[in-house]
Amino acid sequence: MEREAMEFDVVVIGGGPAGLATAIRLRQLALEHGTGLSVCVLEKGSEIGAHILSGAVMEPRALAELFPDWQELGAPLKTPVTDDRFLFLTRQRAFRLPTPPPMQNHGNYIVSLGNVCRWLAQQAEGLGVDIYPGFAAAEVLYHADGSVKGVATGDMGRTKTGEEGPNFAPGMELHAKQTIFAEGCRGSLTKTLFERFKLRAGVDTQVYGLGVKELWEVTPQQHHAGSVTHTIGWPVDQATYGGSFLYHLEDNLVSIGYVLGLGYANPYLSPFDEMQRFKTHPAIRETFAGARRVAYGARAISAGGFQSIPKLTFPGGLLIGDAAGFLNLPKIKGSHTAMKSGMVAAESLFELLRSESEIGKEAVDYPQRLQNSWLWDELYRVRNIKPAFHWGLWPAMAYSAIDTFVLRGKAPWTLHHTPDHTSLKPAAQCTPIDYPKPDGVLTFDKLSSVFLSNTNHEEEQPCHLTLKDAGVPTRLNLAVYAGPEQRYCPAGVYEFVEEAGTPQLRINAQNCVHCKTCDIKDPSQNINWVTPEGGGGPNYPNM
């Protein structure tokens, strides 16, 4: 079917901090130079912020460069960090460690990144950016010469089997001189660009963590606005990369999350249940006495850092933010680098679009500009910390200390990563983990948790969790790995159920919270996450 097309100078895929910062910077430059420049942002969430889940302690550095008067403009960075604790947990006890320099938070703010994005979107619209939430970019479009022409949004109103339903509305084509991919961690279109333009040739594989997060409203007695706690150690063993964060925001809200490296080996491990168990630690649980949980969600993060940064440009477009992997893992911060990369990209694109009227050009000086910015230096210095965790917790801590304090990140070597989907051991070589039953007060089951993500997908639509081979879940995943998708999915989407005496995989796609873990961790990369109908997915408030 013929699709309608719209033309823009720049189309940005994804309304997170990266995409919004790039759109804002482009329009600022256009207004400064008095030239016209049409910029459009597509966002798959039902509104800006609906799919944003983060910690978050935010470094205001990039924001201050974008809006020097951000405080007067009323940016929702309201709670400065006042104290910073770093704890090592054993089953019963907590030991305070010196906070490593990358994790020190003086001058930073505790925020809801979703709300920061809502605010950035208002600023962007004020500057003339067209923002379209509720529309997922489903397909990359190419010119005959192979350069990127734009994207197409997904069709709406197809039935489960893919036919056109009564309200069918075909997707739209958005054509642009430059298309910016800001899909965040494990972008579904970005993934296809990696292959098509061989952007990952010669760089390390990307590795990931899964962050499971809850937002709580605690009693005023337990609330200490500005307090930041990070923990490592219990409940995961020393071979597993995992740690928590506990941030006290404004209005008696506490954000608690657990980030687990997806390079774990035991297929019985469940990141969701580790998070639940973590909350029961004596040093943690008191914060939640008499409190109520108000939101839940999960999202993967790119943890590979410097050595995993792909080639960033290709004819007709480029990558920014967590789609490219600009996250500083030891700091667990990526919002400031996401914004900064978007702003640098905007500056490079603006020059390019002014000098070249033709379409399909490559913004070759964007990587150079990045290399000259603070972002590059920051990521380079911490590049060896995450891969060192491959050796286990204590050697890694020792290495990190030497790397950070003695070598100051300037070690003459670089450590490397191995892909997360290859790390699972067969179930037969592993011990099942007996997670405690939820009490419904402090700890919960998956279903009541997913309920608080406000996620939903129109039921009549093709399943957006596609399998390359429908036989693999039972033949390989269940037989060899005891069905790990039942455990790593933080939303209970995957279930093995008996049908006619044989186990079958059931996919409850409407529960998906778009964390992308299945696309990352499936042992044979058999699951391909594609965009569902626009507007589907979580509706996170204040996350």
Partner 1 sequence: MKILVAVKRAIDYNVKARPKSDGTGVELANVKMSMNPFDEIAVEEAIRLQEAGKVEEIIAVSVGPAQCQETLRTAMAMGADRGILVQTETEIQPLGVAKLLKALVDKEQPGLVILGKQAIDDDSNQTGQMLAGLLGWAQGTFAAKVEVGVDTVDVKREVDGGLQALTLKLPAVITADLRLNEPRYVKLPNIMKAKKKPLDIVTPADLGVDVAPRLKLVKVSEPAARAGGVKVADVNELVAKLRNEAKVI
Ligand X SMILES: Cc1cc2nc3c(=O)[nH]c(=O)nc-3n(C[C@H](O)[C@H](O)[C@H](O)COP(=O)(O)OP(=O)(O)OC[C@H]3O[C@@H](n4cnc5c(N)ncnc54)[C@H](O)[C@@H]3O)c2cc1C
Kindly report the CA angle at 271 between 194 and 224, in degrees rounded to 5?
A: 105
Conformational region of residue 306, where left means phi above 0, alpha means psi within -120 to 50, and beta covers everything else: alpha
In the complex, the smallest distance separating the C-beta of residue 350 from ligand X, rounded to whole angstroms, is 19
> CB of 366 within 8 A of CB of 26?
no
Binding partner at 257 among ligand X, partner 1, ligand SF4, none, C-beta below 5 to 8 Å by kind: ligand X
Q: What is the CB-side half-sphere exposure of residue 49 using CA atoms within 13 A? A: 16
Conformational region of residue 128, where left means phi above 0, alpha means psi within -120 to 50, and beta covers everything else: left
Please give the backbone phi and psi of residue 267, each rounded to the nearest 5 degrees, phi first: -65, -10
Binding partner at 512 among ligand SF4, ligand X, partner 1, none, C-beta below 5 to 8 Å by kind: ligand SF4
Interactions with ligand X, residue window 241-270 (CB under 6 A)? 257, 259
Interactions with ligand X, residue window 319-338 (CB under 6 A)? 321-323, 327, 332-336, 338
The contacts of residue 9 (CB under 8 Å, 6+ apart) are 37, 38, 39, 176, 177, 178, 353
Q: Mark residues 340-379: x for contact with partner 1 by CB under 8 A, - for none.
A: ----------------------------------------
Interactions with ligand SF4, residue window 509-528 (CB under 6 A)? 512-518
Interactions with partner 1, residue window 193-212 (CB under 8 A)? none
Kindly state whether residue 46 participates in binding partner 1, applying the rule CB under 8 A: yes
Please give the sequence-ordered ranges of beta strands (E in DSSP) within 118-163, or none if there are none.
Answer: 130-133, 137-142, 148-153, 156-158
Nearer to ligand X, 184 or 483 (CB): 184
Neighbours of 45 (CB within 10 A): 26
- Which helix (H) or strand (E) segment holds residue 122: the answer is helix 113-126
Nearest CA among 540, 115, 76, 48 for reference residue 294: 540
Binding partner at 294 among ligand X, partner 1, ligand SF4, none, C-beta below 5 to 8 Å by kind: partner 1
Kindly state whether residue 55 participates in binding ligand X, applying the rule CB under 6 A: yes
**3-state secondary structure at position 472:** helix
> CB of 203 within 8 A of CB of 325?
no
Q: What is the DSSP letter of 541?
A: S
Kindly state whether residue 55 participates in binding partner 1, applying the rule CB under 8 A: no
Q: Mark residues 275-314: x for contact with partner 1 by CB under 8 A, - for none.
A: -----------------x-x--------------------
Hey, what are 197's tokens?
């333009």
Cis peptide bond upstream of 56, omega within 30: yes
Interactions with partner 1, residue window 214-243 (CB under 8 A)? 217
Binding partner at 157 among partner 1, ligand X, ligand SF4, none, C-beta below 5 to 8 Å by kind: partner 1
- Can you tell me which of 137, 207, 427, 489 binds ligand X, judged by CB under 6 A? 137
Binding partner at 14 among ligand SF4, partner 1, ligand X, none, C-beta below 5 to 8 Å by kind: ligand X
Q: Footprint of ligand X on this chain (CB under 6 A)?
A: 13-19, 42-45, 51-58, 113, 136-137, 182-185, 187-189, 211, 213, 257, 259, 299, 301, 321-323, 327, 332-336, 338, 531
Summarize as ranges the residues that interact with ligand SF4 (CB under 6 A): 465, 489-491, 493, 512-518, 529
